């Protein structure tokens, strides 16, 4: 069973529907015990970094996320769910993240319109089980103003060009996360979610 974390931010229904379409059994939950029972966990999210961390804290979900990731459970972050994995963000002030990956979140350093909204290509930097069947240079759907700056180059899974080169996906061990929205990215996005589900 795949648990989607409900912390009051994000398009939970579209993630749930896409995973179900990919053949997964899915539960949308904020219950710590249910997260512990799940085989895999998804952290989606849309909105501001600080608000998201406050919501996770109020619901008592920070420790359970850290524990389940440390135990080796497969974990998928989507959009804001990618950003939250890092140590800090300077979005509307300085905010501490989950600290599961070293690095920070910064405004995209570009002269192009922010937020970036729409389809853009990704360059795959290393092999990943979640990207099996995904050609390099494939396009996915983005909506974001901030991007992660990992400390460890080995954590970078994909990069994307938007007036600059930014990190659009990361992977370390059991953690994979995407800046783009697989659930809004047509058949290739569903393929990623199917790879995660299987």
> Is 51 inside a domain boundary?
yes
Counting Cα atoms < 13 Å in the Cβ hemisphere of 65 gives 28
Check the CA dihedral 153-156-161-162 and report its sign.
negative
Residue 9's pLDDT band, with cuts at 50, 70 and 90, is: confident
Q: What is the mean pLDDT of residues 119-139?
A: 98
Residue 94 within any structural domain of the chain: no
The Cα–Cα gap between 23 and 70 comes to 27
The predicted-structure confidence for 14-38, as pLDDT tens digits, reads as follows 999 999 998 899 999 999 999 999 9
Domain-located, residue 22: yes
Which residue is catalytic, options 68, 79, 91, 95? Answer: 79
Catalytic residue among 16, 91, 158, 181: 181
183 as an active site residue: the answer is yes
Domain that holds residue 105: 2-89+100-197
164 flagged as catalytic: no
Q: 185 pLDDT band (50/70/90 cuts)?
A: very high
Instruction: Report pLDDT for 45.
Output: 87
CATH code of the domain covering residue 127: 3.40.50.880
Establish whether 181 is a catalytic residue: yes
Could you tell me if residue 157 is inside a domain? yes
Residue 47: predicted pLDDT: 87
Q: What is the count of structural domains for the chain?
A: 1
């Amino acid at each position: 069973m795949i648990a989607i974390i409900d912390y009051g931010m994000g398009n939970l229904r579209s993630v749930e529907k896409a995973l179900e379409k990919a053949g997964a059994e899915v539960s949308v939950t904020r219950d710590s015990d249910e997260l512990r029972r799940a085989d895999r966990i998804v952290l989606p999210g849309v909105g501001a970094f600080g608000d998201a961390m406050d919501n996770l804290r109020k619901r008592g979900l920070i420790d359970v996320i850290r524990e389940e990731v440390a135990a080796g459970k497969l974990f998928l972050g989507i959009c804001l769910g990618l950003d939250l994995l890092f140590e800090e963000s300077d979005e509307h002030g300085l905010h501490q993240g989950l600290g599961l990956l070293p690095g920070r979140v910064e405004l995209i350093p570009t002269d192009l319109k922010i937020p970036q909204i729409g389809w853009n290509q990704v360059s795959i930097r290393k092999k990943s089980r979640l990207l099996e069947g995904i050609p390099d240079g494939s396009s996915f759907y983005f909506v974001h103003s901030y991007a992660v700056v990992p400390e460890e180059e080995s954590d970078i899974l994909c990069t994307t060009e938007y007036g600059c080169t930014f990190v659009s996906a990361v992977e370390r061990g059991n953690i994979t996360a995407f800046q783009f929205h697989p659930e809004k990215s047509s058949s290739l996005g569903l393929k990623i979610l199917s790879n995660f589900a299987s």
